[in-house]
Structure 1
Amino acid sequence: MNNKGPLKGIRVVDLTSMVMGPYSTQIMADMGAEVIKVEPPTGDNTRFVSKGPVPGMSGVYVNVNRGKRSIVLDLRSDEGKQALEKLIATADVFIHSMRGKAINKLGFSYDAVSAIKPDIIYTNCYGYSRRGPNADQPAYDDTIQADCGLPHVQQLLTGKANFVGTIMADKVAGMTALYATVMALFHRERTGEGQEVEVGMFETMASFMLVEHANGALFDPPLGPANYHRAVAPNRAPYQTKDGHIAALVYNDKHWAAFMDAVQPEWQSEEFDTLEQRANRINEVYGLLAETFKTRTTAEWLELLKELHIPAAPLRTPDELFDNEHLNAIDFFETVDAPYGTVRFPGVPTWFSKSPGKVAGPTQALGEDTDAVLAELGLDTPVVKTGSDTI
């Protein structure tokens, strides 16, 4: 556990699974909170979804559950429920990702939990808000991407409806659950009041998508369709060079003028001089730039664009991030020794001068901390029904 982080002294009871909730609480742990992950006897399904050094320790699970204490409770049993109630009494945050009906059936609704700890912050991580007709509808990243329009804008961009190549909905919603929980803690710090917080993946991604894609549809009456034309221009893609590809944004007027002076392409014209002119014909502009970038190597373009202070980067693979010069210079990766081997974790992306974050520690085996945590509460370890998939 990080003993210097800004969340030092905060205890989190974590009943989340998969990625949305665990990613949120992983950041809490790195920022100093004591996170106690409560799992069913079968474990979080994410333990088994990707490669790992031993069974139950997949890379995805290990990354988003690092530094947490792991306990196993069967919440179908009276013993398991009583143990969780004792734990709640010591907690600052209770966070779960079960559907509303499921958590209520177990007896751990907000009303029940706040009766045990009135000032607790109780965060619900849902697919859809309980306040709408889709309440209790199951949801995963792919279905939320589809429902919020991501494959549609990919189709506008590439001609084919497709998901983006990362579990964006899970991760964006996880960060939203984090900031919502911390805001509620800040309110409690000022007023002493606990409260219930709800974060829906769908609502989060609808808000996220409409930041730029609301566009003309933002106004009443609408001034155009809900899409940001630069983002979905068919020619918006990494530029092919003589020997590879490059991403570059020759965008504002200063960058444009510098690029035109340095490169002087044959198609240079006053009709593209202003940002407004280029924005109105952005797909054509991207096409013209694409032809120009074919004339030099990636290294030649990177050198020139750096000289002109124009944003540019080569195309990299995720594997290359582990040997990235910038990331290694700032000690981004943190090496942690664990019983199942050495792990090189991607570190904390934020920096604090007084209360820095830090990778909270290794990821625990299923139920590794059950005895210790329950002993701290003055309880014996309850008998766990093997094969149960209910926490």
Structure 2
Amino acid sequence: MNTTPLAHLQVVECATFVAGPSCGMSLAQLGAEVIRVDLPGGGNDHQRWPLAHTGASLYWANLNKGKRSVALDYRTPEGRELLLALAARPGRGAGILVDNMVGRHRITHEDLTARRPDAISVHVLGFPDGGPAVDYTVNAAVGVPNLTGPNGPAQPVNHVLPAWDLLAGSSAALGVLAAVNRREQTGEGSRLDIALSDVALSAVGAMGWLAEAEQHGDRAPHGNHLFGSFGTDFATADGRRVMVVALTEGQWRALYEVTGTAKVFAALEAAFGTDLRAESARYELRETIASILRPWFAARTLDELTTQLTGTRVLWSPYRSMSEAAALARADAGSVARPIQQPGIGEMLATGYPLRWADDLTSPVPAPRLGDDTEAVLAQELGMAADEIGRLHDRKVVACEPTPR
């Protein structure tokens, strides 16, 4: 099975942090040639945490898997010309730029189309008007932290996952493919802008949360309970915790059958005149249901629960640390995560693209070191001679030796 369907695409990425680089990473993992362009010495994210024991950025290495790296100073006239030439170079699958550049050094869509009328640009920004924002400020502005956290007085709770950045990256990659398809159909290029604030608002709107707020007011946080159905966490006899969810009637039946609580819940239904086969009823009585189930989970260790719940229709999972998740992924031959040899780091557990093509997964490919491919790209893609590249290097317009991490 061919898992490199985008091998005909040549993308230039000039972006830092998560959204733009994750777009390029997805395209690279599906076979596109993605050339990441950074300033010599690296951009703002080159040494971002977490760091490896060698001091290199695990963050940078993982978001740039499978790309090529060019280091050039696009703030200089010569460097800007090189970036434009790379982004607008000829070829059926070329002429594509993904960026989050700001200020006077930014390469605009008009700059590209002056060189190549059918160019495709995808510009990642904070707000549609160009105002600055990052995932964590957008998340606060869209109201999600006020839905999260324990019961009681509303105190916003941030999350650590940059969900809007990652969703913006996926949306940007989809935008690239849509624009390429349009170009192949019509011969026309495309200017695409994707704002983190739009991504967040679109996502919460798709789940009905905006409409809910207008019709019913703000939803109060309620700890680890699942909204609108039954789902919550339980402590085990050995101090672990598990998450248990009953979205469907079948999952609910399996839960009370395994726990031997069918008669208790039948009595509860009679007492309240309700039917717990309905999600809404399970949600309304969530605290009572949890209190009935809690002793059953508290009397068993995680190993005992695993034995009793495996093979049933109960929907559950233990809470694991990231170290436990990594160990399980490493031990699983069919996992999307596999160890690779990453320059500057050594062996590193990394992930490939999560789409499974029949039974095939794309294996993760190491990231380049910063500037690894500068000389090769300038020579191969722009036809520059070695002495010309050398002069640019001497003037610090480009960096040809890989920058240590």
The reply to whether TM is greater than 0.5 is yes
Does the C-alpha gap of structure 1 residues 290 and 176 become closer, same or farther in structure 2, counting only changes over 3 Å?
A: farther
2:177 alignment partner, SS class? helix
Residue 283 of structure 1: how far off its partner (Å): 4.4
Matched, 1:46 2:45: yes
Residue 94 of structure 1: how far off its partner (Å): 0.3
Residue 287 of structure 1: how far off its partner (Å): 4.4
Residue 385 of structure 1: how far off its partner (Å): 5.7
Q: 1:264 aligns with which of 256, 260, 264?
A: 260
Matched, 1:358 2:363: yes
Can you list the C-alpha shifts for 1:321-352, whole angstroms capped at 9, x where unaligned?
22216971314333333442233312221112
Can you list the C-alpha shifts for 1:161-216, whole angstroms capped at 9, x where unaligned?
22113222222222221222222222223333220111111111122223335275
Q: 1:293 aligns with which of 293, 297, 310?
A: 297
Residue 310 of structure 1: how far off its partner (Å): 1.5
Gaps of 5+ in 1: 130-134
Count of aligned positions: 371
2:98 alignment partner, SS class? strand
Matched, 1:95 2:98: yes
Does structure 1 conserve the Cα–Cα contact (< 8 Å) formed by 2:226 and 2:232? no
Q: 1:144 aligns with which of 134, 138, 149?
A: 138
Does structure 2 conserve the Cα–Cα contact (< 8 Å) formed by 1:156 and 1:232? no
Residue 226 of structure 1: how far off its partner (Å): 5.3
Can you list the C-alpha shifts for 1:233-258, whole angstroms capped at 9, x where unaligned?
8x964211222211111232222223
Does structure 1 conserve the Cα–Cα contact (< 8 Å) formed by 2:231 and 2:246? no
Does structure 2 conserve the Cα–Cα contact (< 8 Å) formed by 1:21 and 1:174? yes
Matched, 1:346 2:351: yes
Q: 1:238 aligns with which of 212, 233, 238?
A: 233
Matched, 1:316 2:320: yes
- Counting only pairs closer than 5 Å after superposition, residues 196-215 of structure 1 correspond to structure 2 as 196-214=191-209
Does the C-alpha gap of structure 1 residues 216 and 287 become closer, same or farther in structure 2, counting only changes over 3 Å?
A: farther
Does structure 1 conserve the Cα–Cα contact (< 8 Å) formed by 2:48 and 2:59? yes
Residue 363 of structure 1: how far off its partner (Å): 1.8
Does structure 2 conserve the Cα–Cα contact (< 8 Å) formed by 1:153 and 1:232? no
Q: Which amino acid aligns with 2:95?
A: D
Query: Take 1:250 and 1:148, find their aligned partners in 2: how far apart are those partners?
Result: 28
Residue 369 of structure 1: how far off its partner (Å): 1.4
Q: 1:248 aligns with which of 229, 244, 251?
A: 244
- Counting only pairs closer than 5 Å after superposition, residues 75-154 of structure 1 correspond to structure 2 as 75-90=74-89, 91-99=94-102, 102=103, 105-106=104-105, 108-129=107-128, 135-154=129-148
1:32 alignment partner, SS class? coil
Does structure 1 conserve the Cα–Cα contact (< 8 Å) formed by 2:336 and 2:363? no
Query: Take 1:217 and 1:242, find their aligned partners in 2: how far apart are those partners?
Result: 39
1:49 alignment partner, SS class? coil
Can you list the C-alpha shifts for 1:18-42, whole angstroms capped at 9, x where unaligned?
1111111111111101111110123
Does the C-alpha gap of structure 1 residues 181 and 286 become closer, same or farther in structure 2, counting only changes over 3 Å?
A: farther
Residue 227 of structure 1: how far off its partner (Å): 4.3
Can you list the C-alpha shifts for 1:221-280, whole angstroms capped at 9, x where unaligned?
x542354986458x9642112222111112322222233234233742223422132233
Matched, 1:217 2:222: no
Does the C-alpha gap of structure 1 residues 76 and 329 become closer, same or farther in structure 2, counting only changes over 3 Å?
A: closer
Query: Take 2:84 and 2:351, find their aligned partners in 1: how far apart are those partners?
Result: 34
Residue 95 of structure 1: how far off its partner (Å): 0.6
Residue 138 of structure 1: how far off its partner (Å): 1.9
Percent of aligned pairs with the same residue? 25
- Counting only pairs closer than 5 Å after superposition, residues 52-63 of structure 1 correspond to structure 2 as 52-55=52-55, 57-63=56-62
Query: Take 1:255 and 1:338, find their aligned partners in 2: how far apart are those partners?
Result: 43
Residue 44 of structure 1: how far off its partner (Å): 2.0
Query: Take 1:294 and 1:53, find their aligned partners in 2: how far apart are those partners?
Result: 39
Does the C-alpha gap of structure 1 residues 290 and 211 become closer, same or farther in structure 2, counting only changes over 3 Å?
A: farther
Q: Which amino acid aligns with 1:261?
A: E
Residue 111 of structure 1: how far off its partner (Å): 1.3
1:177 equivalent in structure 2: 172
Residue 305 of structure 1: how far off its partner (Å): 2.8
- Larger RCO of the pair (alpha carbons < 8 Å, separation 6+): 1
Gaps of 5+ in 2: 400-405
Does structure 2 conserve the Cα–Cα contact (< 8 Å) formed by 1:6 and 1:357? no
Does structure 2 conserve the Cα–Cα contact (< 8 Å) formed by 1:88 and 1:117? no
Query: Take 1:288 and 1:327, find their aligned partners in 2: how far apart are those partners?
Result: 37
2:375 alignment partner, SS class? helix
Query: Take 1:107 and 1:262, find their aligned partners in 2: how far apart are those partners?
Result: 61
Can you list the C-alpha shifts for 1:56-107, whole angstroms capped at 9, x where unaligned?
x3000000012211112212222112211221222332010123xx2xx236
1:31 equivalent in structure 2: 30
1:132 equivalent in structure 2: none
Query: Take 1:237 and 1:255, find their aligned partners in 2: how far apart are those partners?
Result: 14
Can you list the C-alpha shifts for 1:290-338, whole angstroms capped at 9, x where unaligned?
4543233223333333343111111111112222169713143333334
